[in-house]
Amino acid sequence: MKYIDVSTWKRAMHCEAFRNSVQPQYCVTFNVDITNFLSQVKKRRFSFTFSFVYAVTKCANEIEEFRCRFVDGKPAIFETINTSFTYFNETTELFKVVNVPMQETIEDYVVLAKKTEENQTDYFVAPMANDIYQFSPFPWVSYTHISHTESGKKDNAIPLFDWGKFYEKDGKIYLPFSVQVHHSFIDGVHIGKLAEKLQCYLDSFE
C-alpha cells in the first residue's frame, strides 16, 4: 500500500467533492453473459461462487481505481486486493463471512476458498480489512436493482459486488450483477471498464 500524493493527483478535486456527499457510495446493476463461463466451470466441477469471485477480483485488480481506499483518512492505493465473501448455510439459513487471499490462478483460488470455508465454523472471524473486495451472492432472485445497508462511514471505499439468480434468454445464460463503489475513486467509466474486462474474461475462459 502507498499513499497517493494529492498535490499531483489528477483526481484530488473530484475525490474531495464526492467524499463530502451525504452518501458517497453508489450502486450500478447490469447483466453479464455467463453462458461459456458456467459451462466451463461445470466441466471442471468448480464451485460457481468461488470461480466467479476469482473472475471479478482478477478483473477489478487490473483497474487502478478499484484498488484505492482511504487509509487513516488519506487516499491510498493497494498493489493487490483480496476477497471476502458471504457463504450461506442452508440448515441454519445464516451466512458466514469468509476471507480468502487472492491467488495467481483460478485453480489455486478455488481450492483455497473451499478449504477455508469448510474449516471456518464462526460466522465472523475478524474485523473487515481494507484490502478486500466484498462479495454477497443473492441467488434467490433475478433482480434488476439492489441496495445495501450502510455503515454510515463516509470513508468506507471497499467495493461491494453482488449477483442474483441467473436466467436463460435466447439461448444464453445471464447473471444480474451489481457493483457498489465510492464515488471519490470510481466513476461510471471505471465501472464500464470492469464490465468490459469481466465479460471478456467470462467469454474466453477455458
Tell me, what's the pLDDT at 71?
Answer: 97
Tell me, what's the pLDDT at 151?
Answer: 79
Distances, alpha carbon 199 to alpha carbons 33, 35, 147, 157, in Å: 7, 11, 23, 24
Tell me, what's the pLDDT at 150?
Answer: 80
Grid cell listed for 177 = 450483477
3-state secondary structure of 172: strand
State residue 196 phi and psi, 5-degree precision: -65, -45
Query: Which residue segments constitute the domains of the chain, with CATH numbers given?
Result: 2-204 (3.30.559.10)
What is the DSSP code (8-state) at residue 48? H
pLDDT, block means (10 residues), the chain with 206 residues:
97 94 95 98 97 98 98 97 96 96 98 97 91 97 92 91 98 98 98 98 97
Distances, alpha carbon 1 to alpha carbons 56, 74, 81, 83, 194, in Å: 21, 12, 10, 16, 22
Tell me, what's the pLDDT at 20?
Answer: 86
For residues 32 and 178, the answer to whether their CB atoms sit within 8 Å is no
Burial (CB < 10 A; 0-12, 13-18, 19+), residue 91, is exposed
Q: Helices (H) and strands (E) in the chain — how many of each?
A: 5, 10
The label of the residue with cell 498493489 reads 79
